[in-house]
Amino acid sequence: MKQGWRWYGDRDAISLKEIHQAGVTDVVAALYERKPGEVWPVAEIKARQKKVREAGMTWSVVESVPVHEDIKKRTGDYKKYIANYRKTLENLAKCGIRTVCYNFMPILDWTRSDLAYELPDGSTCLNYNEYEVAAFDLFALRRPNAEKDYDAKTKARAKKLWAKYTPKERKRVEKSILTGLPGTVDDLTPAQFLKELKTYAGIDDAKLRANLYAFLNEISPTLDKCDVDMCIHPDDPPHPIFGLPRVLSTAKDIRQMVKECPSKHVGLTLCTGSLGGSLENDEVAIFKEFAHRVFFCHFRNLEYAEPGVFHESQCHLVGKTNLPELMLAFLKEEKRRGEGIVVRPDHGRLMEIDKGRKCYCGYSYGGRLIGLAELRGLEIGIKAFVKGL
Do the Cβ atoms of 329 and 288 come closer than 8 Å?
A: yes
Active-site entry in 261, 271, 297, 359: 271
Give me the phi and psi of 62, to 5 degrees please.
Answer: -95, 130
Active-site entry in 233, 265, 311, 316: 233
Q: Examine residue 109 and tell whether it contacts ligand DNO (CB under 6 A).
A: yes
Part in contact with ligand DNO (CB under 6 A); list of ranges 52-60, 100-108, 116-124, 154-162: 100-108
Task: By CB under 6 A, name the one of 7, 40, 81, 110 that touches ligand DNO.
Answer: 110
Q: Examine residue 320 and tell whether it contacts ligand DNO (CB under 6 A).
A: no
234: left (phi over 0), alpha (psi -120 to 50) or beta: beta
- State the minimum distance, in angstroms, from the CB of residue 232 to ligand DNO: 8
ω into 237 cis (within 30 of 0): yes
Task: By CB under 6 A, name the one of 103, 123, 272, 281 that touches ligand DNO.
Answer: 103
The smaller minimum CB distance to ligand DNO, of residues 14 and 101, is found at 101
The smaller minimum CB distance to ligand DNO, of residues 105 and 327, is found at 105
Active-site entry in 26, 109, 235, 346: 346
Q: Examine residue 88 and tell whether it contacts ligand DNO (CB under 6 A).
A: no
Cross-strand pairs, 118: 124
Give residue number: closest CB to ligand DNO. 183
- State the minimum distance, in angstroms, from the CB of residue 103 to ligand DNO: 4
The smaller minimum CB distance to ligand DNO, of residues 138 and 321, is found at 321
Site map (CB under 6 A) of ligand DNO, residues 44-63, x = contact: -------------------x
Do the Cβ atoms of 87 and 45 come closer than 8 Å?
A: no
Q: Examine residue 183 and tell whether it contacts ligand DNO (CB under 6 A).
A: yes
Catalytic, 346? Answer yes
Question: What percent helix, strand, coil does the chain show, rounded to 5?
Answer: 45, 15, 40
Question: Between the CA atoms of 65, 68, 74 and 79, what dihedral angle is there, to the nearest 10 degrees?
Answer: -70
Helices assigned H by DSSP within the chain: 16-21, 42-54, 69-73, 78-94, 130-135, 152-164, 167-178, 190-198, 205-226, 251-260, 272-275, 283-290, 323-337, 366-385
Do the Cβ atoms of 248 and 215 come closer than 8 Å?
A: no
For the segment 117-176, give every residue that binds ligand DNO (CB under 6 A). Answer: none
- State the minimum distance, in angstroms, from the CB of residue 97 to ligand DNO: 16
Catalytic, 363? Answer yes
Do the Cβ atoms of 336 and 322 come closer than 8 Å?
A: no
Catalytic, 68? Answer no
| Beta-sheet strand order (sheet of 114-118) | 114-118, 124-129, 309-312, 302-306
Residues listed for the chain? 389
For the segment 290-309, give every residue that binds ligand DNO (CB under 6 A). Answer: 298
Active-site entry in 265, 298, 311, 316: 298
Task: By CB under 6 A, name the one of 62, 101, 248, 261 that touches ligand DNO.
Answer: 101
Do the Cβ atoms of 345 and 371 come closer than 8 Å?
A: yes
Catalytic, 233? Answer yes
Site map (CB under 6 A) of ligand DNO, residues 229-268, x = contact: ----x-----------------------------------
Give me the phi and psi of 194, to 5 degrees please.
Answer: -60, -40
Question: How many residues sit in the footprint of ligand DNO (CB under 6 A)?
Answer: 14
Binding site for ligand DNO (CB under 6 A): 63-64, 101-103, 109-110, 182-184, 233, 271, 298, 362
Q: Supply the residues annotated as catalytic.
A: 233, 271, 298, 346-347, 363
